[in-house]
Amino acid sequence: MATPEASRIPGGLGQPAGRVYNFNGGPANLPLPVLEAAAAELLNWRGTGMSIMENSHRDKKVVAMALEAEDDLKSLLKLGDEWKVLFMQGGASMQFAMIPMNFAADGAACDYVNTGMWSDKAYKEARIVGADAAFAATSEPDDFTYIPDTFAFRLNSRYVYITSNNTVRGTQWRTFPRKPPAPLVADMSSDFLSRPLDLSDFALIHAGAQKNVGPAGLTIVLIRKDFAQNGRKGLPHMLDYRTFIESDSMYNTPPVFAIYIAGLVFKWIRHTVGGLDRMALRNEAKAKRLYDAIDGSGGFYRGTARPESRSLMNVTYRLPTPELEKKFQEEAKGRGLCALNGHRSVGGIRASIYNAMPDDGVDTLIEFMEYFKAANG
């Protein structure tokens, strides 16, 4: 069904004068056409005489908008009727606890693959709520520089939990475990909608919106309905996935503005980018150019992740000294290349090149890297 948003989203991936290139790990930049479409109807959304933020979430037009967003997302991911899209709040941190509460807090086994900070946090939350959580694999001994490829899954596990992309260390699952003994559950907050997905082995995926989808405040959950129905009974309503399934995510007041922006992003991917296959090609090309610049610097820039596990979303690297890294960040910011600092727990440089990072943002960064090396190498 054609929508006003679809007709208003133009092509183009460039950057207008006055806007910086935002390499922040999150919240990240949004597609310029989405921002323009939202600005055009900020004061009068769909003829209601008020903004989307002022409309009731019970209004028929708002409910229709949320259902449009769900339909667009299911179309992008080719999800069948066995899946339900939920628009929730609480971020990935809420999901860390909510998943084991629903599926393993009765002391049941659940396996986690530890690839860094976020999977470790999820594992610890599962232990807190009473699940028999265990690591089936970990890359911690090598400082989380790679994605494991051998696993000690337990046959009685309720689910296998992974974090698809590690924003801190710059690693990413290129292929997921095939035919695990239990359904896969994944935190895909930082690479959601960056590529097509084969979801045949998955039962639940959650993603905070603030990397590839929209503003902070929205958490998207994809869940198989049969998996949800097998969850524990007697949970508080707001912590039970069935509550959100049965109410179409309208049990309480949802983050309406964030859902609206996410819906525009889904349409941008569909109508401007051309779908997830084309999005993946674009992301691969951006990352290759940046990694080639790192690898071709003669050691001045050093990638922190093993090449086979490198993230296409978060490119992490070091310079010869911390002092040069600080100087690099300061000079880059002066040229409109912002938020290139590594995560506070590890330092270094991190260029987050999510879906909405335009090609010329990456090219401008590479040009600056060449200049900086020549001036300081």
Q: Count other Cβ atoms within 10 Å, centred on residue 331.
A: 15
* DSSP assignment letter at 341: B
Which residue out of 72, 84, 132, 211 is catalytically annotated?
Answer: 211
Q: Is 118 helix (H, G, I), strand (E, B) or coil?
A: helix
* DSSP assignment letter at 236: -
Place of tokens 């339900």: 84
H or E element that contains 136: strand 132-138
Distance (Å, whole) CA 298 – CA 159 = 44
H or E element that contains 228: helix 225-229
Residues 60, 256: contact at Cβ < 8 Å?
no
- Check whether the bond before 27 is cis (ω within 30° of 0): yes
Q: Which structure tokens are listed for 2?
A: 């054609």
- Whether 211 is catalytic: yes
Cα pseudo-dihedral 337, 192, 313, 218, rounded to 10: 40
Lateral strand order in the sheet of 184-187 = 83-88, 219-224, 202-208, 184-187, 160-163, 109-114, 132-138
Which residue out of 118, 191, 240, 267 is catalytically annotated?
Answer: 118
- Whether 187 is catalytic: yes
Which residue out of 72, 111, 132, 187 is catalytically annotated?
Answer: 187
Q: Which residues are catalytic?
A: 118, 187, 211
